Amino acid sequence: MEIQPRDFHRDWVSEALQVGAILNSNNAELERQIRDLLVHYLEPAWAAEPQNRIAITGATNLTSDLTLDSFQVMEFLMEIEDALDVAIDMKSLSDVHTVADLAAVVARQLGS
Amino acid sequence: MALLDKFEAVAGIAAGLTGAGHNPTQVVIDEILSATEGLVEGRRTVLAGTNNYLGLTFDKACIAAGIKALETQGSGTTGSRMANGSFASHAALERELADFYGMPYGMVFSTGYAANLGALAALLSPGDSVLLDGDAHASLYDGCRMSGADVFRFKHNDADSLEKRMLRLGDRAQNCLIVAEGLYSVLGDCAPLRDFVSIRDRFGARLLVDEAHSLGVYGTHGRGVSEAQGVLDQIDFIVGTFSKSLGAMGGFCVSPHAELQLFRYVARAYIFTASSSPSIVATTREALHQLRSRPELREQLWRNARRLYEGVQALGFVTGPEMSPVVAVRIGSKEDALASWNRLLEKGIYVNLMVPPASPDSSSYLRCSVSAAHTPGQIETIIEAFKELRLAT
């Protein structure tokens, strides 16, 4: 059957949406893993100062919401590297502000 | 955000540091009485945070060498060695350093910071990989970042963490530089260099060791932790500074690799800055001579270090993990550490305040650096001040 341009376009969009959904679902799973790792990393500090405990979402800002300093962010990055067996270059962190940003960086490294 | 708005946050940090009395970053020593004593606000103060490990800043021979150089070579070089030429004394210092380490090549820089920036940015290029100890000094981070290489941190002094990351790099590991320090300046702990050398060999990488705080302190001949651990001849690049044990200013890199000589053409921190003044070069050369010919300085340093380390431990303080001339005393919160630091200063003891993120484990520390020039009485005075601190908190 000859594929009409319109149909071809529809198939391409549909395929792209499906791939996007898989990627998004992988990212969502990755984001969940990172949130769990963050909770684990922050637990000792939260136990000492329970008032700082917050619910972590993708939009949670690592420095302003979780008050991590630059050293702690880099420390946490090493935890992610070991937990997910991935190498993350420090340059990748320059645009990372939120948990979702971090998940996207890890996803890129896992995909590369 | 307007250009200057970001300084509002900096002003807040500065105000916080002043809150407990004195600002630890703004101490003025009105008069330097000796290598280990100064006058601060009219008080005689024991200087226990100067990194003056061998106490050579007032050494008569060093001062005489500096004066002679001032008189015969002038006050400054007024430019870069690449543009203005080198003084014979720059080249002599490079030969003497290379000879000291038993390596064929040596290169000096105007500061220790410039040495790390220059050497790393020359050695690494975009596409290369560098494995950096997580607690490495800011100058090592900056050098790696300036190079454009891909930077990966491994857990501090953890050979397993390094090995795991080398494995993750795959083929890239053989084009990789491992960067570590000999003695770490905040907690006074040493790198497991033997393990790092073994990993370097297994993957075919290169190893750079910063001996800034260990030159003159470790090893039978004072060559640093690499010498103390028996791997000096297996290090690819050793960097260091003249501003600690040698009591002057400047930095260096020595290496068995002839390529070090070509760093001069590409190391921007070497090319685009004025070379060291002749008096600085002269005092550095004399101090290196003193370091080599007076092992008793190192012996006295270690006696003092042991007494202070054991003395503060006996008071119940948590210290760094191993005995060294860097004695870090854990205090806890940033606020407590700042208050304790102020109490010590008011008692006539100057130490360094280390708070996160400058301290390595989110704790705050009062960091002492011991000198061979500290008298036994001064060491006891420092311990006594910590005892009063213990009783007050």
pLDDT in tens, A72-99: 899 999 999 999 999 999 999 888 999 9
B62-93 tens-digit pLDDT: 999 999 999 999 999 999 999 999 999 999 99
Read off the pLDDT band of B19 (50, 70, 90): confident
Identify each DSSP E strand in chain B by its residue range.
31-34, 37-40, 43-47, 105-109, 129-133, 150-154, 176-181, 206-210, 237-241, 251-255, 326-332, 349-350, 352-354, 364-369
For residue range B350-367, what is the model confidence (pLDDT) as tens digits? 999 999 877 877 789 999
pLDDT the model gives residue A7: 44
**A74 to B152: CB separation less than 8 angstroms, yes or no:** no
pLDDT at A1: 39
Cβ contact, residue pair A75, B134, below 8 Å: yes
- CB contact under 8 Å between A78 and B161, yes or no, is yes
CB contact under 8 A, A85 and B155: no
For residues B102 and B124, the answer to whether their CB atoms sit within 8 Å is: no
Beta-carbon contacts below 8 Å between A and B: 42
Residues in chain B within 8 Å Cβ distance of A87: 152, 165, 168-169
User: Band of the pLDDT at A10, cuts 50, 70, 90?
Assistant: very low
Q: Which of B280, B351, B289, B335 is nearest to B100 (CA)?
A: B289
Q: Quick one: DSSP state of residue B171?
A: G
User: Could you tell me how far CA B235 lies from the centroid of its own chain?
Assistant: 18
Q: How far is CA A100 from the centre of its chain?
A: 4
How much of chain B exceeds pLDDT 70, in percent? 100
List B319's β-bridge partners, or say none: B329
**Does residue B207 surpass a pLDDT of 90?**
yes
Residue of A nearest to B362 (CA): A72
Looking at residue A5, its pLDDT comes to 43
B195 touches A at CB < 8 Å: no
A50-59, B25-34, B196-205, range with the lowest pLDDT: A50-59
Interface residue ranges in chain A relative to chain B, Cβ cutoff 8 Å: 45, 69-72, 74-75, 77-78, 81-82, 85-91
Over residues B44-64, the mean pLDDT reads 98
3-state DSSP assignment of residue B25: coil
Identity of the residue in A75, A77, A85 whose CB atom sits nearest the CB atom of B168: A85
- Asked if the model's pLDDT at residue B17 lies above 50, the reply is yes
Q: How far apart are CA B77 and CA B112, in angstroms?
A: 18
pLDDT in tens, B375-387: 999 999 999 999 9
Strand order in the sheet with B251-255: B105-109, B251-255, B237-241, B206-210, B176-181, B129-133, B150-154
Q: Complex ipTM above 0.90?
A: no
Closest CA of chain A from B356, distance in Å:
8
Tell me the mean pLDDT in the region B334-338: 92
Q: Which of residues 312-371 of B touch A (CB under 8 A)?
A: 356-357, 360, 362
B302-321 burial by CB neighbour count: b if 16+ within 10 A, else e? bebbbbbbebbeebebebbe
The pLDDT-based confidence of A9 (bands split at 50, 70, 90) is: very low
Chain A neighbors of B154, CB-CB under 8 A? 78
Residue A4 has pLDDT above 70, yes or no: no
Q: What pLDDT is recorded for position B362?
A: 77
Confidence of residue A24 (pLDDT cuts 50, 70, 90): low
Which residues fall within 8 angstroms of residue A35, CB to CB, at 6 or more apart?
Answer: A56, A57, A99
Q: ω into residue B325 within 30 of 0, thus cis?
A: no
B-chain residues within 8 Å CB-CB of A110?
none
Q: Judge whether residue A15 has pLDDT over 60.
A: no
pLDDT, tens digit, 9 for 90 and up, residues A26-56: 678 899 999 999 999 999 888 888 888 999 9
Average of per-residue pLDDT across B111-138: 97
B357: chain A residues, CB-CB within 8 Å: 69-72
Distance from the B110 Cα atom to the nearest Cα atom in chain A, whole angstroms? 28
CA angle B243, B304, B291 (to 5 degrees): 40
Which of B134, B145, B356 shows the shortest C-beta gap to A69?
Answer: B356
- Token readout for B52 is 């003056």
Which residues from chain A sit within 8 angstroms of residue B151, using beta carbons?
89-91
How confident is the model at residue A20, as a pLDDT? 46
Mean pLDDT for the stretch of residues B362-374: 95
Q: Over 70: is that where the pLDDT of A18 sits?
A: no
Measured between CA atoms, how close is B148 to chain A, in angstroms? 9
